[in-house]
Amino acid sequence: MNDLVSRDVDYTHDGTRMIGMLVAPRGARRVPAVLLVHDAFGLSEDMVAVAHGLAEQGFAVFAADVWGERTQPATEPEIGPLIGSMVGDRARWVARVAAAHDAARDQPEVDGSAVVALGYCFGGSSALEYVRAGGDLRGAVSVHGGLDLLGHDWDAPVATDHVLVCTGSADPMATAEQRAALAAALTAVGVSWELDLYGGAKHAFTSPRAQHSPNPEVVAYDARAAARAWDATVRFLHELFPAVRHATGDAA
């Protein structure tokens, strides 16, 4: 295991306490960073594991706490209102991501001019929505993000140049029509985009929680698609930041 440093980071938005997490190679200073946006289950151990995996690639990782107070909902009755509160108030949703982005840039390990947002499920939607709203990122990655949650107005100036979307062909929350609409919007605003489509993969295909899904026609774990999405994400990051070395504390 590579030598990493990890700590909780408190920040706030609109009076709500957020408890994010910074994971980075020990001794790293101002290296390219990943703003990791969690899925509907909050900043859980699954997301912490992703953060450690990315830090082992040489990146500083700031894991956001979009729900606040490190909330980790476990059931649909808990999750639905949280997602609804964001989609129903897009300015608040974007501001939550922006607050995490600001907190990330405040960390001494992070090069604030070299941040990529990466999100899973709801987090993937969040990364794309932040791009749509003008978030100033070097790139963004959405892994099985719900494209059905995205706004349709791309008239705001877009500051992100590169986007990677990893999604399943059988994801009912990212249909062919929704994928085509996103591709057209990204093209129209001049974003260099890539769509990796995994045949037969459903929603949440990377999530260990989906291995015993009660709705496998909608949500299902797919180990092969998960591995491909991870490889695509790591390749995308190293293409944007080729100087980053695997974690030794001397990245970039």
Nearest to 138 by CA among 109, 108, 158: 158
Domain count, the chain: 1
> Does some domain include residue 93?
yes
Q: Which residues contact 76 (CB under 8 A, 6 or more apart)?
A: none
> Does some domain include residue 248?
no
> Does some domain include residue 252?
no
Amino acid at 97: V
Residue 174: give the domain boundaries: 4-240
Quick: pLDDT tens for 38-62: 999 999 999 999 999 999 999 999 9
> Does some domain include residue 94?
yes
> Does some domain include residue 247?
no
Coil, strand or helix: which one is 31? strand
pLDDT at 248 exceeding the cut of 50:
no
- Torsion over CA: 143, 201, 173, 49 (sign): negative
Q: Which pLDDT does position 251 carry in this prediction?
A: 38
- Position 2 confidence tier, pLDDT thresholds 50, 70, 90: low
> Does some domain include residue 246?
no
CATH code where residue 126 lies: 3.40.50.1820
Q: How far is CA 191 from CA 62, 157, 182, 188, 232, in A?
A: 24, 11, 11, 8, 18
* Residues facing 37 on adjacent strands: 119
Nearest to 188 by CA among 162, 166, 155, 160: 155
> Does some domain include residue 172?
yes
> Does some domain include residue 162?
yes
Quick: pLDDT tens for 138-152: 999 999 999 999 999
Can you give the pTM of this predicted structure?
Answer: 0.96
Quick: pLDDT tens for 71-123: 999 998 999 999 999 999 999 999 999 999 999 999 999 999 999 999 999 99
Instruction: Tell me the average pLDDT across 185-200.
Output: 98
